[in-house]
Amino acid sequence: GSCKGQFAVQDRETGQSKPYWVGAQSLYGNAGRDLILRFQRVSPMELSPHDPSVIYYGSQHLHRSRDMGVTWETMSPDLTAFPPHAQGASGEPITRDVTGEEFYSTLYAVRESPHQAGVIWTGANDGPFHITQDDGDSWQDITPPDLPEGGRVAWIDVSPHRRGSAYYAVYRYLLGDYAPYIYRTDDYGQTWSRLTTGDNGIPADWPTRVVREDPDREGLLYAGTEFGLFISFNNGGNWQPFHLNIGNIPINDIQVKNKDLVIATQGRAIWILDNLSALHQITAEVTVAESHLFAPRDGYRTSTAAHLLGPNIDYYLPTPTSGAVTLDILDQAGGTVNSYSSAQPPRGGGRGGGFGRRGGGAPAPSVTTSAGFNRMVWDVRDTEGLPVPPGQYQVRLSVGGESQTQQFNVLIDPRVESGGVTVADLQEQYEHNKTMNAMVVEVDALIERVQEAQNTGDANLQRRIAPIAEQLITAPIRYSSPGLRDHITYLQGMTARVDMKIGRDAIARHEVLRVELDEITRDANAILGSGN
pLDDT digits (tens, 9 = 90+) for 192-207: 999 999 999 999 999 9
Residue 163 lies in a domain: no
Biggest CA–CA distance in the chain, Å, is 110
**What is the structure's pLDDT at 356?**
42
Low-confidence stretches of the chain (pLDDT beneath 50): 350-359, 532
Residue 462 lies in a domain: yes
Pair (22, 85) in one structural domain? yes
**What is the structure's pLDDT at 301?**
93
Residue 372 lies in a domain: yes
CATH, residue 317: 2.60.40.4070
Pair (119, 5) in one structural domain? yes
Of 443, 405, 462, the C-alpha closest to 519 is: 443
Pair (339, 362) in one structural domain? yes
**What is the structure's pLDDT at 362?**
66
How far is the C-alpha of 282 from the C-alpha of 316, rounded, in Å? 9
Pair (30, 132) in one structural domain? yes
Pair (200, 125) in one structural domain? no
Pair (178, 84) in one structural domain? no
SS3 content of the chain, % helix, strand, coil (to 5): 20, 30, 50
Q: Which domain holds residue 473?
A: 423-528
Amino acid at the residue 237: G
505 sits in which H/E element: helix 504-528
| Other Cβ atoms within 10 Å of 142 Cβ, number | 22
Pair (298, 260) in one structural domain? no
Sheet holding 325-331, edge to edge: 299-301, 402-412, 391-399, 325-331, 336-341
How far is the C-alpha of 33 from the C-alpha of 19, rounded, in Å? 26
Pair (94, 34) in one structural domain? yes
Residue 230 lies in a domain: yes
Examine the fold and report which residue of 359, 387, 417 is the final residue of a domain before the chain moves on: 417
**What is the structure's pLDDT at 454?**
93
SS (HEC) of 25-44: CCCCCCCHHHCCCCCCCCCC
**What is the structure's pLDDT at 6?**
83
Residue 152 lies in a domain: no
Examine the fold and report which residue of 417, 437, 470 is the final residue of a domain before the chain moves on: 417
Pair (269, 293) in one structural domain? no
Pair (11, 100) in one structural domain? yes
Pair (364, 436) in one structural domain? no
Pair (83, 181) in one structural domain? no
Q: How many structural domains comprise the chain? A: 4
**What is the structure's pLDDT at 469?**
95
How far is the C-alpha of 127 from the C-alpha of 108, rounded, in Å? 10
Residue 301 lies in a domain: yes
Q: Assess contact for 149 and 186: CB atoms under 8 A.
A: no
Supply the DSSP string of 145-210, one letter for each residue. TTSPTT-EEEEEEE-SS-TT-EEEEEEEGGGTEEEEEEEEESSTTSS-EES--SSSSS-TT--EEE
**What is the structure's pLDDT at 346?**
79
What distance, in Å, lies between the first and last C-alpha atoms of the chain? 77
How far is the C-alpha of 210 from the C-alpha of 266, rounded, in Å? 12
- Residue 461: which residues within 8 A CB-CB, separation 6 or more? 453, 527
Give pTM, 2 decimals: 0.87
Sheet holding 107-112, edge to edge: 107-112, 120-124, 129-132, 140-141
**What is the structure's pLDDT at 206?**
98
Examine the fold and report which residue of 366, 389, 417 is the final residue of a domain before the chain moves on: 417
Q: Assess contact for 293 and 395: CB atoms under 8 A.
A: yes
Residue 16 lies in a domain: yes
Amino acid at the residue 460: N
The distance from CA 106 to its chain's CA centroid, rounded to whole angstroms, is 35
Residue 337 lies in a domain: yes
